[in-house]
């Protein structure tokens, strides 16, 4: 085969090689328009999930550090006044310093509960046929981190809040591990847990009672 | 946006640069005009790379979403077509690597062949043999050949799109042609003896 013959063949191939079926250009445009020109109101309305969860986590870490520091200082001062030889072993609850240290927890817990309630509301109901938004597992993973931080903080010392956080930890772990192939099974389990443990009403109740908690 | 709306509001005298400027500030009519001018070719390139009609449609969507998002960064240093097709090829190749559908494309090709335009000059068996030989080329050679010889890109454009030197593109096309010649040689001899 010479170059001329191959050129002829390749010229033919330009017309015949993998000629696509007529593309659905209008349908493709509709999707392009929806995605590329979608209003960005969600982003403008407030910080994104990552920012929000990072802020909650950061304030918790800061709160834990402040709490431990002030508790340690107060306990040491109290014990030192009563018995200079004794080592500080317990926290001095209810002091103004401790109440001030509790403020970041209250705000972080409130934000965390609000974000978690939003996430649970965004979950497709069992059997609804809706697909799980792809970001939910990632958001759940971030909230799971916050849950564990809260459990380790003075918030976790309140028995009622501790029970709620432990239940949320379980649900968030399930959402974080949602996989498309086993989604139906997992969503059923999550729905059962939400109903059996009455999680959403308990979140509402916890938010309402937050200001009365003492950490 | 329906085509009828475009027909009344789009001035055909607008050149591409003007359309780009308008699309950057969110003018959907201008954006649609750019899309109409290039979508079919982007889809064809995507299809020729991936060999799957549904995937090609998805890739076309991804390409234009990316194009309209990145349009403010387009400085006009290269032609818009070059920039657009570089994105198209990059998106298509990345998708192919991700979904690993290269190995599945043979099944789709049977369907694709139903859509091929018939041409009276070439023996149908020879055409089929040629298409199979192109598909059998190593991916790097096939892409260079398809983009340059079949799609009509310059070697410089192929080089930019594939991230290779212009000279490498030339070498790949040369090698691809040699392999095709070798693959079809025996068949051509048989054909001439018929």
- Sequence ranges of the domains in chain A: 48-212
The minimal CB distance from B112 to the residues A5, A18, A37 is found for A18
- Which pLDDT score, from 0 to 100, does residue A15 have? 84
Domain boundaries, chain B: 1-105, 116-194
Residue B187 CA to residue B125 CA, distance in Å, equals 9
Give the range with max mean pLDDT: A30-34, A71-75, A189-193, B89-93: A30-34
For residue A211, pLDDT over 90 is answered with no
Phi then psi for B86, rounded to 5 degrees? -65, -40
Average pLDDT over residues A161-179: 83
ipTM of the complex: 0.74
Q: Do B39 and A28 touch (CB under 8 A)?
A: yes
How far is the alpha carbon of B162 from chain A, nearest alpha carbon, in Å?
A: 20
How far is the alpha carbon of A9 from chain B, nearest alpha carbon, in Å?
A: 7
Average pLDDT over residues A155-182: 81
Q: Do A28 and B3 touch (CB under 8 A)?
A: no
Q: With contacts defined as CB-CB under 8 Å, which chain A residues touch B151?
A: 14
Q: With contacts defined as CB-CB under 8 Å, which chain B residues touch A38?
A: none
Of residues B117 and A60, more confidence is placed in: A60
- Which pLDDT score, from 0 to 100, does residue B148 have? 92
Lowest-confidence pick of A32-36, A107-111, A211-215, B158-162:
A211-215
Of residues A88 and A31, more confidence is placed in: A31
For residue A31, pLDDT over 80 is answered with yes
- Which pLDDT score, from 0 to 100, does residue A115 have? 82
Of residues B137 and A97, more confidence is placed in: B137
SS3 of chain A: CCHHHHHHHHHHHHHHCCCCCCCCHHHHHHHHHHHHCCCCHHHHHCCCHHHHHHHHHHHHHHHHHHHHHHHHHHHHHHHHHHCCCCCCCCCCCCCHHHHHHHHHHHHHHHHHHHHHHHHHHHCCCCCCCCCCCCCHHHHHHHHHHHHHHHHHCHHHHCHHHHHHHHHHHHHHHHHHCCCHHHHHHHHHHHHHHHHHCCHHHHHHHHHHHHHHCCC
Of residues A65 and B47, more confidence is placed in: B47
Nearest to B153 by CA among B83, B93, B82: B82
Query: What is the pLDDT of chain A when averaged over all its residues?
Result: 72
Fold held by B1-105: Rna Polymerase Sigma Factor; Chain: A (1.10.1740)
For residue A60, pLDDT over 90 is answered with no
> What percent of chain B is modeled with pLDDT above 70?
77
For residue B14, pLDDT over 70 is answered with no
For residue B12, pLDDT over 50 is answered with no
User: How many interchain CB pairs under 8 A, A with B?
Assistant: 123
pLDDT tens track for A73-82: 555 555 555 5
- Which pLDDT score, from 0 to 100, does residue A4 have? 83
Indicate the pLDDT class of residue B35, thresholds 50, 70 and 90.
Answer: very high
The pTM of this model reads 0.49
Average pLDDT over residues A150-162: 84
Q: Do B53 and A36 touch (CB under 8 A)?
A: no
Indicate the pLDDT class of residue B120, thresholds 50, 70 and 90.
Answer: low
- Which pLDDT score, from 0 to 100, does residue B138 have? 92
Among chain B residues, the shortest Cα distance to A24 is held by: B57
Q: Do A9 and B65 touch (CB under 8 A)?
A: no
Of residues A154 and A96, more confidence is placed in: A154
Length of chain B: 194
- Which pLDDT score, from 0 to 100, does residue B139 have? 87
Fold held by B116-194: Arc Repressor Mutant, subunit A (1.10.10)
Indicate the pLDDT class of residue B43, thresholds 50, 70 and 90.
Answer: very high
């Amino acid at each position: 085969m010479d170059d001329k013959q191959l050129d002829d063949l390749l010229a033919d191939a330009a017309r015949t090689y993998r000629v696509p079926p007529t593309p659905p250009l209008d349908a493709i445009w509709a999707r392009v328009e929806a995605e590329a020109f979608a209003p960005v109101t969600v982003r403008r309305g407030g910080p994104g999930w990552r920012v929000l969860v990072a802020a909650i986590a950061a304030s918790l870490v800061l709160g834990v550090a402040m709490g431990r520091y002030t508790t340690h200082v107060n306990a040491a001062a109290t014990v030192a006044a009563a018995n200079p030889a004794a080592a500080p072993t317990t926290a001095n609850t209810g002091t103004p310093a401790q109440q001030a240290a509790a403020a970041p927890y209250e705000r972080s817990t409130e934000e965390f509960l609000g974000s978690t309630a939003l996430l649970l509301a965004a979950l497709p109901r069992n059997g609804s046929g809706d697909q799980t938004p792809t970001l939910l597992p990632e958001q759940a993973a971030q909230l799971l981190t916050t849950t564990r931080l809260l459990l380790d903080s003075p918030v976790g010392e309140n028995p009622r809040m501790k029970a709620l956080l432990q239940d949320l930890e379980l649900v968030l772990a399930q959402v974080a591990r949602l996989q498309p192939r086993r989604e139906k099974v997992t969503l059923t389990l999550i729905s059962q847990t939400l109903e059996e443990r009455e999680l959403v009403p308990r979140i509402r109740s916890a938010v309402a009672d937050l200001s009365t908690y003492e950490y | 946006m329906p085509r009828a709306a475009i027909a009344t509001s789009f001035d055909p005298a607008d050149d591409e640069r003007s359309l780009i400027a308008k699309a950057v500030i969110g003018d959907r009519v201008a954006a649609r005009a750019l899309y109409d001018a290039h979508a079919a070719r982007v889809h064809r390139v995507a299809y020729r790379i991936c060999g799957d009609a549904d995937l090609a449609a998805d890739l076309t969507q991804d390409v234009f979403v990316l194009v309209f998002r990145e349009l403010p960064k387009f400085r006009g240093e290269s032609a818009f077509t070059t920039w657009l097709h570089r994105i198209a090829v990059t998106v298509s190749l990345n998708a192919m690597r991700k979904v690993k559908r290269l190995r599945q494309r043979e099944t789709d090709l049977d369907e694709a062949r139903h859509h091929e335009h018939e041409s009276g000059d070439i023996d149908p068996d020879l055409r089929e043999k040629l298409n199979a030989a192109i598909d059998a080329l190593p991916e790097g050679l096939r892409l260079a050949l398809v983009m340059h010889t079949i799609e009509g890109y310059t070697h410089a454009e192929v080089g930019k799109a594939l991230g290779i030197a212009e000279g490498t593109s030339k070498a790949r096309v040369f090698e691809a042609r040699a392999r095709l010649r070798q693959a079809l040689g025996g068949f051509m001899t048989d054909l001439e003896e018929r």
